[in-house]
Structure 1
């Protein structure tokens, strides 16, 4: 029998996996529970009740997050969803993540409004993905060592949406989705095996162990997140235990926290048997790590040291959150490792980069990196867990907390997890006061990031080597520029290709998603030997309103190989 959500008193909670799986559960207040177990991932019944109360009372800033969530759910109602188990892991991730976030928005909208159309659409998307995945080769098979990276990030989102509409889902449908999740264990495990002892040859050759001694690469955190989420979603006791702490899993959560979070006492010799093998701190004289940095700091190529550090830290936080929501074993937010490792330290360390927008902060190690604001929404969890941390509080009180989490939660995190003891920021975010970039320092991307291209900064210009489709360069985030004060962008460029097209995209505070409708296309000369300056009018685009958040410049389509060099980019 299916128990309708409306037939269960709102005060009731769901049975967590700790009790359902028979694992050790610390003493905690026991919530009133419905007769039927449901899986719990990111969104507990207590969080649903709090979200409903905030919506009913129109409490700021939480009601703003609800309006955004409802907008996303309403948009999803009118979409047609076509799952596809794409062979390239990044292409699959882009498609699956957007669909998974829609499922969560729909499911939470249902739980707040009791409107069954939201639950019906969420279930429809889940059924489509489950059926397609069970009939097709696993996603990301083109690069099997990367399949676990994307499966581990997307399946928890799908699973949380499924859990929220569990009571409205018939048993046969539940079983279909359970089989889908369980089916994905194999490709994740294959990824882990390749990382631990395999060899890959494309696009670069990496040999064992750990693919050229990348002992704590972010792929490993994502794989374990996938194991944990699947175990909780399907009631697989052994898989949950394997992910948390198990001698047969060399990268379980305990091993990851102890190894991924850097402490001064961790520092070794940099020799082949050391976890600091090839670290530039030892080989090139870079600044030594500080307590709380993330192991992926070394990945400074293409300006992404901060990005990779942030996403791996996210994977640790999400695993701790899943286990806490299930009251399963120890509280990993309170755990301290053998050398002092704990989850509060990275929140503190990386807060300065987010607050200042300066990648040269602290020791200056990340000066080649772009400041990545993707971690910012997770500071809602940080404040809940570490309410006395002044750096966390200052960061949250400096930004509009109604923020879109592009990696996991969409618009929902503030509504379900935000605390109500913080002052509201006077502005959406601190202004960066940046309007021009000249690329005068070798190797300094000036906080720009790259998509589908190779870049160098030499001789006073940023050189984009085009070898793939859809290349682009992306400005620093959270520019906060007035659309009425700045109406155009001026680029000084040398186009050494035969493709004359340049397309400039932008996003704003009010519409932070890139789309063709918020872009302007212009024409460049081709086969240049000298630089030319072009002024591209953006003010005539209907979307050019409010505060402009970020810019993206796509030089050509990628169909014509060659190099496009940027001497400068300026807003005018």
Structure 2
């Protein structure tokens, strides 16, 4: 009888644990083959077709990219893995540069079928993942302590995507894949340590939602889907075990009228639906941590664009694996399309006085070809959104380049007015 009661108790506790685990969305098993992160095979076939038919902006963007890649191959560009102690000013810029090059090479292989691009891409990826010592193995916690997760997440994202794109390449050997996955586990440990540092320090003066936490969850999600770890995917997307999962970040980073803002925001009443929490980077603020760092002023739009990019990248990865975050609205009505709606006109009109004038002073830093590339993904998923359509119609889309997304018009662009 006691054994029966014990069994019943275990079953009841298991059920309670299941209900306690957050289930705001359904997360299906991973069934997609590679590539499955930001582009699928069907997406790439459409890209190839548009390039072959010399459609713009795909043909112009691709022609420029191919010329750049060919020149770098001709110049025998080599991987330059950073193995030093500085996650932010050492690892970040070097890894980001090599990772974006590797990603574009992998895309060039898919577009042309030419082996030289895949070989060079694999050389870059393996050059980091198989280096001894491993990049990221010796970060010094006394150097840029708060930046760990953000720096690792943003810098490595294009390498994670490269792994996904190259996965079925015949010359990508099992031992190389194993080495890459082991390196990703090291990077994952930094992502988890990064968010832990913020939690243990009250998010450095109560900066509860901003680009750092968005970078952490985006890269964690990408690693989960890249290596096929369903438990990690759930942890990244929607889990009580993760205080800053993707859904939490959406709800926290997307502002709504009447929502409580960062307590040091000087204009707490001037807020619109779809603004992003990083807007307070418009102001010069110090005292977030003991380092004495003071934020540079007039960076509100820049950092809001960054967080929008990180959230949208996570949304696209989820979407390609059966989780539609583009249609998802949090409890307060927070939805990704609101962000695209709010910020599109700033980049189209290059006018910092819009929407109540909060961002006045940032006109010289409104850079559509650098920061508005994420609107290509926005238009792909919100094809009836006129604000996005007007913005893209005003841009020389083929020339746009952006963090993580590379050549967004080439990779994600859609014909204007097609739907």
TM-score range, shorter chain: 0.7 to 0.9
Residues 133, 57 of structure 1: CA spacing in aligned structure 2 closer, same or farther, 3 A cutoff?
Answer: farther
Alignment of 1:70-85 (within 5 A): 70-77=66-73, 78=75, 79-85=77-83
Is 1:304 the counterpart of 2:305 in the alignment? no
Structure with the greater alpha carbon radius of gyration: 1
Instruction: Report the CA distance shift for 1:278/1:147 in structure 2 as closer, same or farther (over 3 A).
Output: same
Q: Does 1:321 align with 2:320?
A: no
The structure-2 alpha-carbon separation of the partners of 1:54 and 1:133, relative to structure 1 and needing over 3 Å to count, comes to: farther
Residues 149 and 223 in structure 1, CA contact (< 8 A), matched pair in contact too: yes
Partner residue of 1:278? 264
Separation in structure 2 between the aligned mates of residue 210 and residue 372 of structure 1, nearest angstrom? 29
Distance 1:346 1:215, change over 3 A: same
Partner of residue 49, structure 1: 45
Aligned equivalent of 2:28: 24
Q: CA deviation at 1:298?
A: 0.7
Tell me, in whole angstroms, the C-alpha distance in 2 between the residues paired with 1:75 and 1:181.
30
| Alpha-carbon distance change, 266 to 289 in structure 1, aligned in 2, over 3 angstroms | same
Alpha-carbon separation, structure 1, partners of 2:332 and 2:248: 12
TM-score of the pair, normalised by structure 2: 0.83
Partner Cα distance (1:261, 1:237) in 2: 27
Secondary structure, counterpart of 1:189 in structure 2: helix
Question: Alpha-carbon deviation of 1:279?
Answer: 2.0
Partner Cα distance (1:375, 1:133) in 2: 35
In structure 2, C-alpha distance between the alignment counterparts of 1:396 and 1:133, rounded to whole Å: 44
Task: Confirm or deny: 8 A CA contact 1:258 1:337 kept in the other structure.
Answer: yes
Q: Distance in 1 between matches of 2:210 and 2:53?
A: 44
Going from structure 1 to structure 2, the CA distance change for 1:133 and 1:354 (only over 3 Å counts) comes to farther
Task: Give the Å deviation of 1:372.
Answer: 4.2
Q: Secondary structure of the residue that 2:156 maps to in structure 1?
A: helix
Higher mean alpha-carbon deviation, 364-373 vs 164-173, is at: 364-373
Match of 1:336 in 2: 329
Secondary structure of the residue aligned to 1:363 is coil
Pick one of 182, 186, 195 that aligns with 2:185.
Answer: 182
Equivalent residue for 1:391? 387
The gaps in structure 1 that reach 5 residues or longer are: 1-21, 199-208, 268-274, 424-572
Offset at residue 281 of structure 1 (A)? 1.8
> Residues 208-287 of structure 1 correspond to what in structure 2 (within 5 A)?
209-267=202-260, 276-282=262-268
User: Partners of 1:317 and 1:216 in 2: how far apart?
Assistant: 16
RMSD value, Cα: 2.1
Task: Call closer, same or farther: CA 1:133–1:150 in 2, change over 3 Å.
Answer: farther
Q: Are the aligned partners of 1:401 and 1:414 in contact in 2 as well (CA < 8 Å)?
A: yes
- Report the 3-state secondary structure (helix = DSSP H, G, I; strand = E; otherwise coil) of the residue aligned with 1:240: helix
Q: Deviations over 1:256-313 (max 9, x none)?
A: 111110001313xxxxxxx53222124xxxx511111000111123211111111111
Q: Is the 8 A contact 2:238 2:245 kept in 1?
A: yes
Give the distance between the partners of 2:82 and 2:36, measured in 1 at CA: 27
Q: Residue in 2 aligned with 1:483?
A: none
**SS at 1:293 equivalent:** coil
**Counterpart-to-counterpart distance in 1, 2:377 and 2:140:** 31
Question: How many pairs were matched up?
Answer: 370
Asked whether 1:349 is paired with 2:342, we answer: yes
| Match of residue 18 from structure 2 | none
Matched residue SS, 1:299: helix
TM-score (norm 1): 0.62
Gaps in structure 2 of 5+ consecutive residues: 1-25, 285-296
Contact 1:224 1:243 (C-alpha < 8 Å) held by counterparts: yes
Aligned equivalents of 2:326, 2:209: Cα separation in 1: 20
1:92 Cα deviation from its structure 2 partner: 2.1
What is the CA-CA distance between 1:250 and the residue it aligns to?
0.9
Q: Is the Cα–Cα contact under 8 Å of residues 148 and 188 in structure 1 kept in the other structure?
A: yes
Counterpart mapping for 1:376-415 below 5 A: 376-411=372-407, 413-415=408-410
**Whole-angstrom distance in 1 between the partners of 2:217 and 2:93:** 20
Higher strand share goes to which structure? 1
Q: Is 1:119 aligned with 2:114?
A: no
